Amino acid sequence: MPLSGTRLATLAAALAALTFAVIVAALVLGSAGWDPEMIRALRAPRVAAAAGVGALLALSGLAMQSLLRNPLADPYVLGTSGGAAVGALAALMFGVTITLGAAAGALAAGALLLWLARRALATTDDASPRLILAGAMLAALFGAMASLLLALTPDQRLRGAIFWLVGDLSGADDGGVSLMGAAALAAWFAWRARALDRLLLGSVAAHLLGEPVTRLRFELLLGASLAAALAVASAGAIGFVGLVIPHALRLAGVQRTRDLALLSPLGGAALVVAADLLARTVALPIELPVGAVMALIGAPVFVWFLARGGR
Amino acid sequence: MSAHPVRAEAVATPLLAARALTLAAAGRDLVRDLDWQVEPGQRWCVIGRNAAGKSTLLRALAGVSEVGVAQRGEVQWAGRAQRDWPAIDAAALRAFMPQQVVDRFPITVARLLELSVVRPLHDARTVLAALDLAPLALRPVLELSGGERQRVALAQAVLQGTPLLLLDEPVAFQDPAHQALVARCLSTSLRAEQALVISAHDVNWIARAATHVLALFPDGRCEQGTTRQLVEASVLERVYGCRWRDVGGVWVAD
């Protein structure tokens, strides 16, 4: 059932309240308990980074779903995050800025995926299962390349394999860049919302309605890749956020790109902050990588979506 | 370009014209050297056997490129070559309903129709009612039956508000009652400045819905004329390769 304006506002308010509650919980809970100085110096930046990364990943997923016209698309599942990780590792090896390397890697992975999907995207009958398989193979390929690069660079400065392959927030920055990137991407989505809604009807349908399909696809590829790259540079490759959040919102009745673009970052932020809270408190005194927690949640959800026929 | 010319030009020049148009696929000419034009107010039906090239012709007329189809000659919209039309202006001139659509995302019929409007020419509620879609307005498109989804696609094309409508088999999945409904809707909701090109198989439905017929023959030749001229035993026999009888005003294939 679609949502009326009031129900949509209620959902947005509930989601905002949930996000706020999760953030407060993540700030006050933890091994050291209540300590204002530690909250300000350590937990606040980490929570901000988690929120920024979650918002970016949710928007990146939304962009990839629009780009490939497939509700199962996600930057982690389809190899974009893997490409970013490889790019970041290569940048470390050659002494280039990590974010730049991650962006280049993510763009290359996204372009490769788009090239693999070109036949399906040019016609009205897009071949979803094949596209997802191709993306999964890309992800495996980039995972292997990242492992090789890690093996070739026994550098003390490198963060470990877990960080690049699974995702970990323990060494993240303060989240400023991530949050700003997410805000910019959400604003772009809201501006392009009607054209993007038409693109979801299929490339032929969108073209017949006068939309600049090629340019929209290019902008989506750029947005999805850069968002994934920023997230990976900050927290490594965390998966499934971009899949779970837009899908849950669609299940709740949100159908417009404009509304999805405004609510997805909230949901993504809440999810990653909550997952990171779990990761650092559930097995005290050990800290788990947040990516592993997300995969434990996300992989079964993905399989459940697949079993329902990808809808 | 977008604001003024479509209607003004349409009076003087045909809405749609094919000039020496040849369409070839898989080493075979589907349509050869077609010279043909569609004037406002006309309702054309393209007939031909399976794989005769009806859908390929309609896609070419709509300006939708197709893998593996070679095109020579020219298609003109309102007197100007198709390729010279920017996408945004073309969207205000022609609507195209493909034979089948694949939906991927949950969106309601009402929202889908809202997205399909380019020129607000028709009232959405009237069109929904005319196509027996009013009860479906809030249903997600993913849950519709084949026949229902086809009528929604027809409503999308109508609501685009263009002078030229190209419809690929709009009644293929319709039950007899809804076939009659679609024929009625096409003849009543059309304005004088609009024109229609349809493909269909049911000769009796065509005799009722169309004013003109374009017949495609298996060798790529085409024949055109009024429905009265072409819906006729000898022509139908050459088009479909079987015998036809007129049984009390109803055409029956043997």
Q: For residue B87, list chain A residues with Cβ-Cβ distance below 8 A.
A: 207, 210-212
Torsion of the alpha carbons at B5, B11, B16 and B20, rounded to the nearest 10 = -110
The CA–CA distances, whole Å, from B6 to B40, B123, B221 equal 12, 21, 31
Flag whether pLDDT at A31 surpasses 70: no
Residue B35 backbone phi and psi in degrees, to 5: -115, 120
Average pLDDT in the A223-247 region?
91
**Chain A stretch 107-166, residues whose beta carbon is closer than 8 A to a beta carbon of chain B:** 119, 122-126, 128
Mean model confidence pLDDT for chain B: 90
Q: Is B99 on the interface with A (CB under 8 A)?
A: no
Please list, in sequence order, all residues whose beta carbon lies within 8 angstroms of the beta carbon of residue A112, skipping any fewer than 6 positions away: A79, A83, A138
Average pLDDT (A156-169) is 73
**How big is the CA angle at B229 (ends B225 and B231), to the nearest 5 degrees?**
105
Are the beta carbons of A200 and B64 separated by less than 8 Å?
A: no
Residue range A245-254: average pLDDT?
A: 91
Selected for mutation to probe chain A from B115, B160, B165 (highest A CB count within 10 Å) is B115
Please state the rounded mean pLDDT for residues A20-47: 83
Residues of B in contact with A207 (CB under 8 A): 64, 87
Residues A300-305: contacts with CB under 8 Å, at least 24 apart = A301/A240, A301/A243, A301/A244, A301/A247, A302/A72, A302/A74, A302/A77, A302/A240, A302/A243, A305/A71, A305/A72, A305/A243, A305/A247
Which residue is associated with the tokens 């007197």?
B79
Q: Residue A159 has what pLDDT?
A: 65
Candidate from A126, A200, A208 with C-beta closest to B96: A208
Strand partners, A308: none
Alpha carbon distance B250, A79 (integer Å): 60
Residues of chain B neighbouring A198 (CB-CB closer than 8 A): 115
pLDDT tens digit string along B65-115?
888 899 999 999 999 999 999 999 999 999 999 988 888 888 999 999 999
B107 near A CB under 8 A: yes
Predicted confidence pLDDT, tens digits, chain B (254 residues):
444 444 544 445 899 999 999 999 988 999 999 999 999 999 999 999 998 999 999 999 999 988 889 999 999 999 999 999 999 999 999 999 998 888 888 899 999 999 999 999 888 999 999 999 999 999 999 999 999 999 999 999 999 999 999 999 999 999 999 999 999 888 887 788 899 999 999 999 999 889 999 999 998 999 999 999 999 889 999 999 899 998 988 999 98
Chain A residue with the nearest C-alpha to that of B119 = A209
pTM equals 0.89
Per-residue confidence (pLDDT) for residue A123, from 0 to 100: 63
A198, A201, A256: best to mutate for the B interface, most B CBs within 10 A: A201
Please report the ipTM that was assigned to this predicted complex: 0.89
What three-state secondary structure class fits B34? Answer: strand
Which chain A residue shows the shortest CA-CA distance from B94? Answer: A208
Does residue B116 contact residue B159 with C-beta atoms inside 8 Å?
yes
Tokens of A210: 């006068």
* Cα-based distances in Å from B200 to A234, B99, B148, B167, B173: 58, 11, 18, 9, 11
Chain A residues touching B94 at Cβ < 8 A? 208
Closest CA to B212 of B225, B198, B222: B225
DSSP state of B19: E
pLDDT of residue A311: 44
Tell me the pLDDT band of A36, cut-offs 50, 70 and 90. Answer: confident
- Given this model, what pLDDT does residue B2 score? 44
Centre a 10 Å sphere on the Cβ of residue B11 and count the other Cβ atoms it contains.
Answer: 9
Contacts 24+ apart (CB under 8 A), B238-245: B239/B47, B239/B48, B239/B49, B239/B215, B240/B49, B241/B49, B244/B203
- Residue A211: list chain B partners with CB under 8 A: 87
How is residue B231 written in tokens?
């819906």
Q: Is A1 in contact with B138 (Cβ distance < 8 A)? A: yes
Q: Is the peptide bond before B176 cis (omega within 30 degrees of 0)?
A: no
Give the residue from chain B lying closest to A193, CA to CA. B115
Å between B52 CA and nearest CA of chain A: 21
A33 or A127, greater pLDDT: A33
Query: Over 50: is that where the pLDDT of A54 sits?
Result: yes
d(C-alpha B156, C-alpha A202), whole Å: 14
Within an 8 Å CB–CB cutoff, is residue B71 touching chain A? Answer: no
